[in-house]
Amino acid sequence: MAREQWGTKLGFMLAAMGSAVGLGNIWRFSFVAGNNGGGAFLLLYLGCVFLIGIPLLLTEVSIGRKAKSDVVGSYQKLAPKTPWFFTGFFGIFSAFLILSFYAVVAGWSLYYFFHYITGDFFQAPGEGGFGAVFGGFISQGWQPLFWTALFMAMVIFIVVSGVKRGIETANKIFMPLLALLLIVLAVFSLSLDGAMEGLKFLFQPDWSAFSKPSIYVQALGELFSLSLGMGALLTYGSYLSDDKKLPGAAIGIGLMDTFFAVISGLVIFPAVFAFSIDPSSGPPLVFITLPTIFEQMPLGGIVGLIFFFALSLAALSSAISILEVPTAYFMRLFNWTRKKSSITVGSIMFFLGIFVSLGFGVWSGVTPIGDRNILDSMDYIASNILLPLGGLSMALFVGWYFRKSTALKAVDLKDDLFGGVWYGIVKFIVPVVILIIFVSSL
């Protein structure tokens, strides 16, 4: 059977943006920015996107497009009888870990969305406000698992429908819709009295932040939320034909990811400051602080409904790219159909997700790594170890295993200034920088 392909280059770009833009952009980026020098951090991050993110993105997509195979198969094809294919196993492993916890958090988002549809959450139900609602919900056994299962079922359904008919079609609808919803929310949030404080938190540059080493580590770490290092972009690249040029697409994807991160900040922080609430990071911000604010603002119920719809869309478009990584691998390895492969992989991930979910309830005392609960431990192994190693290995592969002319041809660049800069970055700068993040995060 012929290998599947994207219908259009735009379809590929939207799918890759869908992969990159996820829960990470909405609940992490703007907070990290605000706490690490605001506008100064944004500038630094943009520098990192151009210097490291986009070159690495281009590298990862090009490996897939050249080999036209999955994460493991691509290395076996391009470098037969060498151990480079281990890079692919880092990717497969990260995909299993990441989607197992991602689906649990996405399930929470669906639960909130559902309760905004019914109107239950227009006001915090019961004593203790949304803190009690959230804490009570995630610590239960079956309830959160039902929503995780529902989310996984949607992800599997899209992946089963195929690259063009499923993944591409879904992203062509989701991404423009997500942009529209977030822009509407941002305009509304900026119109609140006191919104200026939020803008200050996000944008006012604190240049002294540049003197703290942690800001660089944070900015570089944030890069991996571009979906780099896991093989999602490699696998998506493998469905591209050779006549589709890569550099423009890579720049577009990198810039749009940053755009979505900033616009999420414009939704969240003006509202947080307008209601004089101390911003916190991570799940409590999204599932406790924001609903509490929505409760107090005019039209807050509708705002909450749109917000959790947008959050669920962002999670879904990322999740399908993560499921596709092992799905494509098992299809080739065992000669399985797309249906059999994605249902099997998705079910295993759901099974792992049960542990993650129970880690907030009966197993909240289980802390595999340091004082991290099950979710944080899995995130730590994936984000701090496997993804950096995967990214490092990809850069070394293209920079050192390929000849320069092969590498340039793979990414559609010539041996001119532009091509030379990209090559130098991938060969020297990316490996050094990733090693620095890696060592400093351990």
- Name the residues that contact ligand TRP, by CB under 6 A: 20, 22-25, 98, 102, 224-225, 227, 230, 318, 379, 382-383
Nearest in space to 267 (alpha carbons), one of 219, 195, 323? 195
Q: By CB neighbour count within 10 A (0-12 exposed, 13-18 middle, 19+ buried), where does 442 fall?
A: exposed
When the beta carbons of 168 and 379 are compared against ligand TRP, the nearer one is 379
Which residues are 73's β-sheet partners?
none
In the bound state with ligand TRP, the residue whose beta carbon lies nearer, of 134 and 224, is 224
Q: Count how many Cα atoms sit within 13 Å of the Cα of residue 156 in the half-sphere of its side chain.
A: 19
Rg (CA), the chain: 21
- Provide the 3-class DSSP secondary structure of residue 161: coil
Nearer to ligand TRP, 292 or 312 (CB): 312
Residue 371 token pair: 């004082």
Which residue number places its CB atom closest to ligand TRP? 22
Kindly state the smallest distance separating residue 373's Cβ from ligand TRP, in Å: 15
Query: Residue 113: which residues within 8 A CB-CB, separation 6 or more?
Result: 305, 308, 309, 311, 312
Smallest gap, in angstroms, from Cβ of residue 261 to ligand TRP? 9
What is the closest distance, in whole angstroms, from the C-beta atom of residue 122 to ligand TRP in the complex? 28
Give the residue with the Cβ less far from ligand TRP, 63 or 319.
Answer: 319
Q: What is the DSSP letter of 282?
A: S
CA atoms within 13 A on the CB side of 346: 25
Structure tokens belonging to residue 427: 């060969």
Question: Distance between CA 35 and CA 407 in Å, rounded?
Answer: 39
Give the span between the Cα atoms of 87 and 90, in whole angstroms: 5
Spatial separation of the C-alpha atoms in residues 270 and 219, rounded to whole Å = 23
Residue 131 structure tokens:
């803190």
Alpha carbon of 319 to those of 15, 352, 355, 365, 370: distances in Å? 11, 15, 18, 28, 27
Q: Least distance to ligand TRP from the beta carbon of 392, Å?
A: 15
Min. distance of Cβ 222 from ligand TRP in angstroms?
9
Question: Smallest gap, in angstroms, from Cβ of residue 17 to ligand TRP?
Answer: 10
Cβ atoms of 151 and 143 within 8 Å: the answer is no
Decide whether 13 or 410 has the Cβ nearer to ligand TRP.
13
Which one, 67 or 98, has the nearer CB to ligand TRP?
98
Q: In angstroms, give the least distance from the CB of 382 to ligand TRP.
A: 6
Q: How far is the CB of 102 from ligand TRP (least distance, A)?
A: 6
**What's the min distance (Å) between Cβ of 15 and ligand TRP?**
12
- Sorted by sequence, the CB contacts under 8 Å of residue 223 that are 6+ apart come out as 48, 49, 52, 53, 56
Question: In the structure encoding, which two tokens stand for residue 322, read together?
Answer: 């993560």
Comparison of 224 and 423: residue with beta carbon closer to ligand TRP: 224
Rounded to 5 degrees, what are φ and ψ at 403?
-75, 160
What's the min distance (Å) between Cβ of 282 and ligand TRP?
Answer: 12
Report helix, strand and coil shares of the chain as percent, to nearest 5: 80, 0, 20
Nearer to ligand TRP (CB atom), residue 229 or residue 304: 229
**Please, which residue, 71 or 408, has the CB nearer to ligand TRP?**
71
**Closest to 167 measured CA to CA, from 159, 178, 175:** 159
State the nearest-atom distance from the C-beta of 91 to ligand TRP, in Å: 11
Least gap, CB of 316 to ligand TRP (angstroms)? 11
Cβ(321)–Cβ(119) under 8 Å? no
Nearest to 175 by CA among 314, 372, 352: 314
